[in-house]
Structure 1
Amino acid sequence: MKLRLNDGIELFYTIDDFTDPWTEPETVVMHHGMAKSHKMWFGWVPIIARHYRVIRFDMRGMGLSDVSGPDHAWTLDSFTADLKEFADKMELDKFHLIGETVGGSISMNYSINNQERLRSLTVATSPTNFDSHHKESADLIDREGINVWVEESIGRRLDPQIVDPAYIRWYAEQMKATPAHVV
């Protein structure tokens, strides 16, 4: 499904709800990280969606969502504004928010001014500030492209000693699908 933001950009989202049909489940919004998509949460859905209504969406410029041009302000605050508008348009008065990596940073930023709307906030491996490592990543993407950045950084994301190589390849391909100017 798609939800149109006020600036015309459409965000893709999907709802997974395997709760008992006579109940009124609470909602969990799952926010993926940079250069990823709603698909990253696939392993979580069977467990969480049995007890909660789960909404997974693709951030602007990622997955199946529309891509803004390079002149768009690709900032923590602009992604946070997208999350707020998404929650508003989905009429989510109170919900649980789960974010990973930059999705968690966006979720923390959202919580500062919207804590009354959150039942809980869960973040995983999310930076609270963006150090020189992020500048180095941006420079690498500018110089050599997103594919090189993904290949050089994948070992920090997934340990090849314990993670299935097929999953690592799938994960990397998901990330490589993101336009470089978005990252």
Structure 2
Amino acid sequence: MTLFDGIVARTVNTPRLAVNILERSGDDPATPEERTVVFVHGNVSSALFWQEIMEDLPGDLRVIAVDLRGFGGTEPAPVDATRGVRDFSDDLRATLTALGLHSVHLVGWSMGGGVVMQYALEHPVRSLTLQAPVSPYGFGGTRRDGSRVTDDDAGTGAGGANPDFVARLAAGDTTADAATSPRSVFRSSYVSAEYATAHEDVWVASMLSTKTGDDSYPGDSVASENWPGFAPGTRGVLNTMAPKYFDVSGIVDIVVKPPILWVHGTADAIVSDASFFDLNQLGKAGVIPGWPGEDAAPPQPMVSQTRDVLEAYRAADGEVTELEIEGAGHAPHLDRPGVFRRALLQAIGYIKPRHDPAPPTEAIILKSED
């Protein structure tokens, strides 16, 4: 039983693939697009992770959560990593078109944040909510300005996945017997240490819906002469975020700029300026031997990169609100659901902010106690 009361799943057939979506059973399909919110999950997860926030949003909104290809109940079509995350964003476009939707509010988590930014580069969007998003320059292998550390993006992509974690995903491991068990990874990396829930089995089931292999998660890799000895291949999920294929910093230059809400937690273990999912950070910490030093293999300042790009977006007359939540992990919508809910309702214009709106050249930085 992975679906909550009032949440229903159905298949949307598109010219690209069959896509699984979650909806609320009482939502009106005729709801105007300005009150339609679409959620896009991150890596090693699915739409199931959005169910609590879907339940908690007002009933006069239409709320949809989409499974990306290879996750949840969506068709496990191969992922062409050389397109960055465009396979995912094109699938999202096809899904919304099949639903008769043109411009909606998009919420993207982690890799899903990259997907919705890519979507906004090519299609109209009413607002973007980015929760713990992948850096606009991808995952790993770049300096603060987005420049690539090596020509082949050594140390990024599928080769960085822990093989035991991948094997346990494929085997459907529901235990917490090892640090690499999906349940253990959820506890240590997705949420804060204080997080408690009655729904952990559902979240683990969501993780285990991930399709594994060279065409899915994590993808393929190739040998590299640069430390740590591998580089991204051309297939699969993790390679879509390699900097040679992924760069959505061009969002600064789109003509019609949707308002952006950026939500992130100070205890995020995955997306941070010192991420322990970044192999260069692991090398610097001595976890992986042979690290060649800061000049050759610097850790990626992921949060600082996102802030730089969003500050440039703001300077180009875009509206940005930053919500930094003290103590929250990689999934603020689970760690601090009330704070996340209110911020999202403000972002889509459903309720007014408690604070006076910031001038267009300034950020509003909210703390969890707000």
Cα distance in 1 for residues equivalent to 2:30 and 2:100: 21
1:122 lines up with 2:129 in the alignment: yes
Pairwise CA distance, 1:152:
6.0
Please name the residue that 2:18 is paired with.
Answer: 10
Unpaired runs of 5+ residues, structure 1, are none
Contact 1:19 / 1:49 at 8 angstroms: preserved in 2? no
Cα distance in 2 for residues equivalent to 1:28 and 1:122: 10
Contact 1:12 / 1:57 at 8 angstroms: preserved in 2? yes
Contact 1:38 / 1:58 at 8 angstroms: preserved in 2? yes
Pairwise CA distance, 1:141:
3.7
- Structure 1 window deviating more from structure 2 (13-22 vs 57-66): it is 13-22
Structural mapping, 1:29-178, within 5 Å: 29-69=38-78, 72-74=79-81, 75-114=84-123, 117-128=124-135, 129-131=138-140, 135=157, 138-141=160-163, 145-147=167-169, 148=180, 150=182, 153-154=185-186, 155-159=188-192, 161-164=193-196, 166-178=198-210
Higher helix share: 1
SS at match of 1:91: coil
Cα distance in 1 for residues equivalent to 2:196 and 2:92: 32
Cα distance in 2 for residues equivalent to 1:91 and 1:124: 26
Cα distance in 1 for residues equivalent to 2:22 and 2:158: 34
Identity %: 21
The CA RMSD over aligned residues, in Å, is 3.0
Please name the residue that 1:180 is paired with.
Answer: 212
Provide the aligned length of Structure 1 versus Structure 2. Answer: 177
Which has the larger Rg? 2
Structure number with the bigger relative contact order (C-alpha 8 A, sep ≥ 6) is 1
Contact 2:29 / 2:62 at 8 angstroms: preserved in 1? no
Cα distance in 2 for residues equivalent to 1:23 and 1:106: 24
User: Deviation digits for residues 77-122 of structure 1, max 9, x if unmatched?
Assistant: 21111111112222212211011111111001111121xx211110
Unpaired runs of 5+ residues, structure 2, are 1-9, 142-154, 170-179, 218-370
Which residue identity does 1:52 align to in structure 2? L
TM-score normalised over the length of structure 2: 0.42
Pairwise CA distance, 1:34:
1.4
